[in-house]
Structure 1
Amino acid sequence: MSDNIKDKKKNYKEVEQLLSFNYKEVDGEDFYRYVFPNNQNEGEYSENYSKPNSVYLYEDPKDKGTKRKLRRRIMLNDRWKDDYKEFVKDNPMTLCSGLAYRGMRNRLENAQQMNALVFDLDAVGKNELMNLFARIGKKPALRTLPQPTFMVMSGTGLHIYYVFENPIVLYPNIKLQMKALKYDLTFRMWEYKATSMEKQIQYQSINQGFRMVGSKNDKYDLPIRAFKTGDRVTLDYVNQYVDEEKNRVDVNKPFQPTKYTLKESEEKFPEWYQRVVVEGNKRAKKWNIKRDLYDWWLRQSYKVKGGHRYYFLMCMAIYAVKCNIPKKEVREDMYKIFDELKEIEHSNPLEEDDIKSALETYDRQYYNFTIDDIVKLTDIPIEKNKRNYQNQNDHLEEARMIRDLRMKREGRKWTDNNGRPSKENLVKKYVSENPDHTPTEIAKNLKISRTTVYKYI
């Protein structure tokens, strides 16, 4: 047994002793009944989504030697006792998030409610857990944390569960707010040499799946165990601990506010109106982006840090979707870069299964994944556009001065119709130089209408 594995098992034993002394252990079957008390019974499943269900992934021995890694299953209330024993108990690979979904797919776009907000705290030993004990349940202050409902031993760290008294309904805008709240609290919770032995903070989606209680960590052959550390929580209680007010969730704002009526939108944004209202296509519009962006991302691999290797692969798939790169090519590129990434030092080894997991983000729903999200997940800084390190106003002021000087030398004025470039050329030139800008930013910076922007994109 290597020294690394010995250290992991020593930390696990010390954490187990501390948690067992302070809190009561809960088995996996009861744990998920507590988190998801309103799953449907067998036969109730229908197109009526008034009772969404938890969806989990599990490894089936029948798939050994095949390309299929995990199977997906709905957590039905009346079948759960038998299903838990058959599909979860002692299984070397199971995953479940804190969300309940409509239908049978555990994608974020299908998520209907959040039963639990879950955090992953990696590399936790005795000292880190003692520091965590000193912070949880205290009044909101620097680095204090709300009292969690459960602490789950993941094998090398902890999964921190906040189970809500009433599940949070995940309207599209609430999903965005919950993501901001989770990022904020992750930063507060994860502190190197205090609550984690890992330097790099790992930010995760609200849809992240976690090893299930009662299963095993296949990397270290350690059981996933849960301890009841508190009661159910309210959103108001959790909100108190968020550092920035803008990152707190307001359930009274389930949708992004708009200042336009539907009639005004038809006049101002005809392309949007036709696509969304008339045709019923509510997906965000995909821009046609050159593959240069994808190729650029591949060249950033030298910047990857230990805790962000998987997320770099995940964002490879996201950039591939943005740039229309075939999935087969992305898979081949991931395998090429895998050997480089797995040599980056980290307490958890990078494995081939991480490639398969990362490829799941090769999906239409990630078309408009933002630069800020990618920076958070990968910790790789991205310059949004070329402004010579100036802010936007100074950059545009300088650009206009150069433009006016050039026009003066040519004996023309910018306001002259004969020298005025067409709006089509303006838009195309701007987009080629600023491929990541939104139509709103383009319209604002060029001082033209969004309708004109859409016309020439």
Structure 2
Amino acid sequence: MTKNYQECYEYLSEQFSEVDGYAFYKEIFPDNEVSGVKCQDFSHPSAVYLYRDKEQRIRQRKMYSDTWEQDYVKLVEKNNFTLCSGLVYRRNRNRLENAQRMNALIFDLDGVGLGELRNLFLRFGGDPARVRRLPMPTFLVLSGTGLHIYYVFQQPIDLYPNIKIQMKSLKYDLTFRMWEYKGTSQMEAIQYQSINQTFRMVGSINEKYDTPLVAFRIGKQVTLEYLNAYAKPENRVDLNRPFRPSKMTRAEAKEAYPEWYERVVVNGDKRRKQWDIAGKVHGDDPHALYHWWLRRIGEIKGGHRYFFLMCMAIYAYKCGVSKKQLCQDMQEAFEDLQMVKHENVLTEDDVKSALEAYDKEYFNFTIADIEALTDVRIERNKRNGRKQDLHLRLARGQLAILKQAGEKSQGRPVGSGTAQAKVLEWRRQNPDGRKIDCRRDTGLDPKTIRKWWSGE
């Protein structure tokens, strides 16, 4: 048990009532479906939670209203691996595409000690127009290293496509407002999370610190209007905009996007189309974008290791990399990321969870989302409105002019082959060695080792 956990528990237990796990989830999800009764009209979407069974396998299960008490005692209470989000789903899996309503908006604040907890209470419930004020939460949950902050809605929010996007913006905004280094958290790097993020369940055990997850009732259930008041106007949720309105007429769309018009309007195929990334690559590597992301591993900080792996799976799906190859690469990346210092240990369960992002649901994940989750800056290609072919011809022409003027040289910088030689020589002497061992022996950066590992 950590000092932070002990002090925070004593502080909260003296002032607030503790809520047991069964009652906690019964309040958040009061309208789960009954086991054995299928609602074809999706009138009773249910919470879905993950748990580890006796054979150490990770299972997903619906939170049925009539069996929840027995299921909680048998599957969740004192289990060292149980996870649940604040959403309810139409089907048996907790994918974002299946999410129908949000019953609770949840935040994860790491590195919270007694001082940080007191600062939070100075900010909870104040005037939203004042600096650093935060909405009063419904529950606070001691997670082991910090807090899970729950805002339970009086009326669940229907997650139409555009509402999901808006809720993500609201959560990012409030996360930034909530997370202040040395004020509300001992961790410097802000950790942004999706609205579908799962959290350790109340009543289970954090196996890393052997501490139970304990919930305290802090305030009342909230409304969306209440949370909106604490966010910037551009990041607030407007329930009157469930779908993103088009900026052009159907006739204009037919002329501007003939392929889309044929597929969606004429043929009625409204499924999201996967981007043809491999077809736009200049060179012999159809998976160049995926390999570019692998080389960014050296920039990852402690609190973003899981999300690097998750985005690895996203890029693999985007680029058509096989799942078998992804699993091999992810295992190597897992070994490298274990060397990144952080108070939470990266585990094999994190790898399994990250692999779930290898799915069509994520292939239109935006650059802005990847930047927020991983804290890695991604430069955008600027073409100034020109087509790619024209843009590249102009760039090559400018490079040729600069080269003639002696201001630009092409080719590899002098001495850049030294690292390659070190890696190849180490591999010759250690044919069964791993990248992590190479790094310890040579002192080279992980992304440099990865670049030359295959001798290319």
Distance 1:363 1:393, change over 3 A: closer
How far is the alpha carbon of 1:266 from its aligned partner? 4.8
Give 1:53's aligned residue: 46
Q: Write the deviation string for residues 48-83 of structure 1: whole angstroms up to 9, x where unpaired.
A: 20121111111101x23xxxx311111111111111
Residue identity in the other structure for 1:14? E
Between the aligned partners of 2:111 and 2:387, the Cα distance in structure 1 is 44
Between the aligned partners of 1:239 and 1:213, the Cα distance in structure 2 is 27
How far is the alpha carbon of 1:143 from its aligned partner? 1.4
Give 2:176's aligned residue: 187
| 2:344 pairs with 1:356 | no
Q: Write the deviation string for residues 282-322 of structure 1: whole angstroms up to 9, x where unpaired.
A: 23211221311111111111111111111111111111011
What is the aligned counterpart of 1:120 among 108, 120, 126? Answer: 108
Between the aligned partners of 2:162 and 2:50, the Cα distance in structure 1 is 27
Give 2:274's aligned residue: 286
Residue identity in the other structure for 1:359? L
What is the aligned counterpart of 2:81 among 93, 100, 108? Answer: 93
Between the aligned partners of 2:192 and 2:270, the Cα distance in structure 1 is 28
Between the aligned partners of 2:353 and 2:33, the Cα distance in structure 1 is 28
Residue identity in the other structure for 2:25? Y
| 2:29 pairs with 1:33 | no
Give 1:323's aligned residue: 319
Between the aligned partners of 2:255 and 2:276, the Cα distance in structure 1 is 25
Pairing 1:43-192 to 2, within 5 Å after superposition = 43-61=36-54, 63-64=55-56, 69-140=57-128, 141-192=130-181
Give 2:299's aligned residue: 303
How far is the alpha carbon of 1:20 from its aligned partner? 0.6
SS at match of 2:2: helix
Q: Percent identity?
A: 57
SS at match of 2:185: coil
Distance 1:272 1:395, change over 3 A: closer
Give 2:213's aligned residue: 224
Residue identity in the other structure for 1:216? I
How far is the alpha carbon of 1:47 from its aligned partner? 1.9
How far is the alpha carbon of 1:340 from its aligned partner? 1.7
SS at match of 1:47: coil
Give 1:416's aligned residue: none
Between the aligned partners of 1:194 and 1:354, the Cα distance in structure 2 is 29
Distance 1:279 1:137, change over 3 A: same
What is the aligned counterpart of 1:233 among 222, 226, 235? Answer: 222
| 2:373 pairs with 1:377 | yes
Pairing 1:385-424 to 2, within 5 Å after superposition = 385=381, 392=384
Give the TM-score normalised by structure 2. 0.81
Between the aligned partners of 2:392 and 2:213, the Cα distance in structure 1 is 61
| 2:259 pairs with 1:271 | yes
Between the aligned partners of 2:393 and 2:263, the Cα distance in structure 1 is 39
Residue identity in the other structure for 1:324? G
Between the aligned partners of 1:138 and 1:95, the Cα distance in structure 2 is 31
Residue identity in the other structure for 2:81? M
Between the aligned partners of 2:104 and 2:193, the Cα distance in structure 1 is 14
Q: Write the deviation string for residues 367-411 of structure 1: whole angstroms up to 9, x where unpaired.
A: 111111111011111101157xxxx48999x979969x99xxxxx
SS at match of 2:209: coil
**Count of matched residue positions in the alignment of Structure 1 and Structure 2:** 388
Give the TM-score normalised by structure 1. 0.81
How far is the alpha carbon of 1:352 from its aligned partner? 1.9
Distance 1:272 1:401, change over 3 A: closer
How far is the alpha carbon of 1:279 from its aligned partner? 4.1
Give 1:19's aligned residue: 12
Between the aligned partners of 2:391 and 2:156, the Cα distance in structure 1 is 51
Q: Write the deviation string for residues 1-51 of structure 1: whole angstroms up to 9, x where unpaired.
A: xxxxxxx52211111011111211000000011101111122332322012
Between the aligned partners of 1:47 and 1:279, the Cα distance in structure 2 is 27
Give 2:442's aligned residue: none
Residue identity in the other structure for 2:293? W
How far is the alpha carbon of 1:235 from its aligned partner? 0.4
| 2:240 pairs with 1:252 | yes
SS at match of 2:310: helix
Give 2:454's aligned residue: none
Distance 1:368 1:395, change over 3 A: closer
How far is the alpha carbon of 1:278 from its aligned partner? 4.4
Distance 1:57 1:401, change over 3 A: closer
How far is the alpha carbon of 1:274 from its aligned partner? 3.2
Q: Write the deviation string for residues 250-301 of structure 1: whole angstroms up to 9, x where unpaired.
A: 0000001124455664565442233234444323211221311111111111
Between the aligned partners of 2:47 and 2:265, the Cα distance in structure 1 is 32
How far is the alpha carbon of 1:331 from its aligned partner? 0.9
Distance 1:196 1:394, change over 3 A: farther
Q: Gaps (5+ residues) in structure 2?
A: 278-285, 399-456
Between the aligned partners of 1:237 and 1:71, the Cα distance in structure 2 is 36
Residue identity in the other structure for 1:114? M
